[in-house]
Structure 1
C-alpha cells in the first residue's frame, strides 16, 4: 500500500514546468541582488556580518568577491532553467545559497529558508528528464513520468509552512488588528493604494485574510471544486504581498507551486502540448526505496517539530526571539527601543559607551539593539576587538525594548557581563529578562 502510494508513476509535466519557472526565479533572485544594491548593503558595506551562531567561519568574500559569487549563482540558476548538468547545477546553487543564508541574519527572511528547502527538494527529484539540455545530450534519460512521492512531498511541505504561518497569527496583537495596522503604516506613501492601506477595514481584511488564506489554501487547492476559486485568491494574495511588502521572487514562487495541485493533464495541455501524456498506473519501486522512506520520516519529523521548539523554551518567543527563526513566524511583531553598550576596561579601569555606528550599518544596529542573540554576538565581537589590542573588558548592555508599541521593558539583564555570558541555542538564556509576571 505504501509502495503504491509513493512509487506509482504519474505524469511529470508539472515538475518539468516548475523547474523552468523555478530556475528563472532563482536566477532573477541572484542577479537581482546585484542590481538592487542588496549585496552592497548586506554583504559588502558591513565590517562583518552576524552569522548564524556556530557558523562564524562563513563570512563574505573580500572586496567585490560577493558580486562574483552571486554572478556564479545566477549562472547555475540558468543551468537549472534549461536543465544543463542539472544535478550538479542545483546542488551547487543550493550549497551557495545556504552559505549566504547562514553567513548573515540581519536581513533574515523566512522565505530565504523556504528556498533552501525547495532547493533540496529539487535536488532529489528527476526534474531534468524532459525538455532539458541533459535529454538532448543523452536521450536515454528521457521520461514522461515521475514517482507520486514528488507530488506528495511538495504538497505536504507547503501544508506545513502555510499551517504554521496561520497558527502563529492566533495571538492578541494580530487578532486585535495592531500588527496589520503597523504593517500598513509604513506603506502610506505608496502610489495609488497608500491611503487605502491606512483604512481600518483594510487592516481587518488583512487580519482575517492572512489567517484564513494560510490555513485553507492547501486543503482547498487539493479539492477539485474549490481549486480554481482558491487559485484566483492566491493570485490576489501573492500579488498584493509582492507590491505591498516587496519580498522579491517569493510571491511568484508560491504561485508556481500551484502547478502541483492542478491536474497533470491540465498542466500538460497548457504548457507541454508536444509532450506525450502519461496515463498508465505502473508502480516502479527503486532499489533505494527503504532509504528514501527513512529520509521522508526524518525530514517531516524535523519540519513539524522545528517550529514547535519555542514551546519548550521558557518565555514568550515574541520577546526572547528564542525559537523564532525557521518557524514560519512571519510578520508578527515590530521591535523598537534604545540600547547601549557600556565597556569597562579591566586593564585601564576606564568606562566608556560604545558608538554602534562606528562598527555597524543601520540595519545591523536595529538587530544589535533588539535581538538577544545578535546582542550576544556583538558583545563577543567587541570583546575580541579589545583582546586583539591586548586589553580585557567587561560589557554591560542596557536594552529597553518595545514590542508592537507597548511600553518599553528591559530586555537584557544590565548586571550581566555579556563578554563572559554564554549562549544556549536550545534553552532559555537567563540573561534575557522575562516579564511574564508583570503582564
Structure 2
C-alpha cells in the first residue's frame, strides 16, 4: 500500500471530526466572562474613568481615526457587550454575535493605548477566531431554532487553532521572563511581594528574597512548560489543577482583575473534546456504555482550492502571532526600557516601571519658555502610563505643540524631561531632552531619541526587622 501524500494526511488531521461539547463549554464560559467584565466596568465607574473623563486619548499607530464616543454611547457599548456575552453563552444569533463582540471589544481596546492589557487583547483574538468556529451547532438556541444546523461534531482544526493561540500566550509570556532581572535578581517580583507584607499568615514571608526567587523561577517554568503538559492526555488533569492554583495565587497577590479567570477559561481548550459529556454523565450516574459519545461523523474529504486558500490564511495568521512577539528584537536594546514591540507580545507582568515627565515648551520666535505638567492634559491613570512609554510621551508632546499653536503661541518646540526607574533602579533620562518632539513622527521605525537602558543591576531590597524576626 502506497503512503498517502503528506497534504492529504494533513487534511485528514485538520478535518477529523471531534465532539463539539468542549468548544460549546468554552463558548459559554467566554461569553459569561465578557458579561461579568462589562458589568464590572459599568458598576465600578471604570467606563467614565478610562474612556469618557479623559480630554485626550492616546491612539495606536494607524488607528488615530478611531474616536472616543460621548459618555452615553460609551456606556451603551459596554451594556451591549454584556448582552452580547449572554447571547454568545446561549448561542443566540451566533454569527452576528461573534462579529459584533469582536468589533465592539476591539473598539474598546483601540480607544486609548494607556488602557492596553494583554488579557483583553487575548479576548479580542479569541472572539475573532470564534467567528469562524461554528461552536453554536449544539447546545444553543440557534440549533434549537434551526434543526438543520445541528451537529454533534466539529472538525479538529477548530480546537487546534484555539490551542495554538493559547500556547503562544503562555510560551512567549515565559520567554519574556528569560532575563537577568527576573531570574538572577528576582525583580520585579521582590518589589511586588514586599509590598504585600500586610497579608495575613504569609505576609512576613513575602519580603524574603528566597520567596521572590522561588516565585520568579516558578512563574518562568510555569509559563514555558504548562502548554506542553496540558497537551499531554495523561498529565492534563494535573496540569489544569496547577493552572487553577497558579492563577488563583496571582489573583490573591496582585490586582490583575479578570486575567486569572480568562486564562483558566482559555486553558479549557486543551481538554479532550468530550469532557463536558463525561462530566455530565458522571453527575447523572450514566456509564460510558449507555451512549454519552456523539455518533461518528463521515470521513472528511480533501477540500478544493477554497480549502487550500483557507489553510493559507490560517498559516499566515499563525506566522503573524509568532512574529509579533519577536519583532522587538529588530529594535535591539532592552524592550522593557524602550517599549518598542512591547505591546501584543505577551510580556505579562514583566517589569516595574515608574517615571515622571515635565514638558518644556519653547516659543521659536521669542525663546519664551513654559514648563508644562502632563496633569494639565491627562488623568492620573493616563499620566502614570504615559510617563514610562516613549511613544505616548511623543504623542502628548505633539498634542501640546498643537494646543499652544492653536492658542496663537506657535510655532513652538517641545522637549521632555522624562526620568524613569526600571525595576527599582535609580531614575534616569528615558528620552533625549535636546530633541524637539514636536517635529518627531511616530511610526514603526526605531526611535533614536530614546536613550539607552541603564546597565546597573536592579534594586536589592533588604527584609525589614519584622521579617527577620520571623
Normalised to the residue count of structure 1, the TM-score between the two structures is 0.94
Deviation at 1:285? 4.6
**2:162 pairs with one of 154, 160, 165:** 154
Q: d(CA) in 2 for partners of 1:258 and 1:54? A: 32
Q: Deviations over 1:23-46 (max 9, x none)?
A: 111111122111122212211221
Q: d(CA) in 2 for partners of 1:191 and 1:60? A: 42
What's the counterpart of residue 397 of structure 1? 416
Report the secondary structure of 2:115's partner residue: coil
**Cα distance change of structure 1 residues 305 and 173 upon mapping to structure 2, 3 Å threshold:** same
Q: Deviations over 1:74-130 (max 9, x none)?
A: 111111111111110111011111111111121221112111111111111011101
Q: Superposed, which structure 2 residues align to 1:174-193 within 5 Å?
A: 174-175=182-183, 176-190=185-199, 193=202
Report the secondary structure of 1:55's partner residue: coil
Q: Deviations over 1:299-357 (max 9, x none)?
A: 01101111111111132211110111111111111122332100112355421100222
What's the counterpart of residue 422 of structure 1? 441
**Cα distance change of structure 1 residues 18 and 122 upon mapping to structure 2, 3 Å threshold:** same
Kindly tell me the number of residue pairs found equivalent between the two proteins: 438
What's the counterpart of residue 308 of structure 1? 326
Q: d(CA) in 2 for partners of 1:325 and 1:77? A: 26
**1:203 pairs with one of 212, 215, 239:** 212
Q: Superposed, which structure 2 residues align to 1:277-356 within 5 Å?
A: 277-280=294-297, 282-285=299-302, 288-347=306-365, 349-356=367-374
Q: d(CA) in 2 for partners of 1:122 and 1:360? A: 36
What's the counterpart of residue 465 of structure 2? none
Does 2:37 align with 1:29? yes
**1:93 pairs with one of 101, 122, 126:** 101
Contact 1:29/1:248, CA 8 A, preserved across alignment: no
Q: Which runs of 5+ in 2 are unaligned?
A: 1-8, 285-290, 458-470
CA RMSD of aligned residues (A): 2.1
Q: Superposed, which structure 2 residues align to 1:368-387 within 5 Å?
A: 368-387=386-405
Deviation at 1:56? 1.8
For structure 1, which segment, 127-136 or 283-292, has the greater mean C-alpha deviation from structure 2 after superposition? 283-292
Greater radius of gyration (CA):
2
Q: Deviations over 1:340-392 (max 9, x none)?
A: 10011235542110022221111111223221000000011111112222331
Q: d(CA) in 2 for partners of 1:194 and 1:65? A: 44
For structure 1, which segment, 50-59 or 227-236, has the greater mean C-alpha deviation from structure 2 after superposition? 50-59
Report the secondary structure of 1:211's partner residue: helix
Report the secondary structure of 2:435's partner residue: coil
Contact 1:344/1:351, CA 8 A, preserved across alignment: yes
Q: Deviations over 1:144-197 (max 9, x none)?
A: 000000121111222221111111111111012121112223433445554443
Q: d(CA) in 1 for partners of 2:297 and 2:438? A: 65
Deviation at 1:54? 2.4
Q: d(CA) in 1 for partners of 2:314 and 2:448? A: 36
Does 2:87 align with 1:79? yes
Q: d(CA) in 2 for partners of 1:332 and 1:207? A: 10
Q: Which runs of 5+ in 1 are unaligned?
A: none
What's the counterpart of residue 242 of structure 1? 251
Report the secondary structure of 1:106's partner residue: helix
Contact 2:61/2:443, CA 8 A, preserved across alignment: no
Q: d(CA) in 1 for partners of 2:48 and 2:129? A: 30
Does 2:368 align with 1:360? no
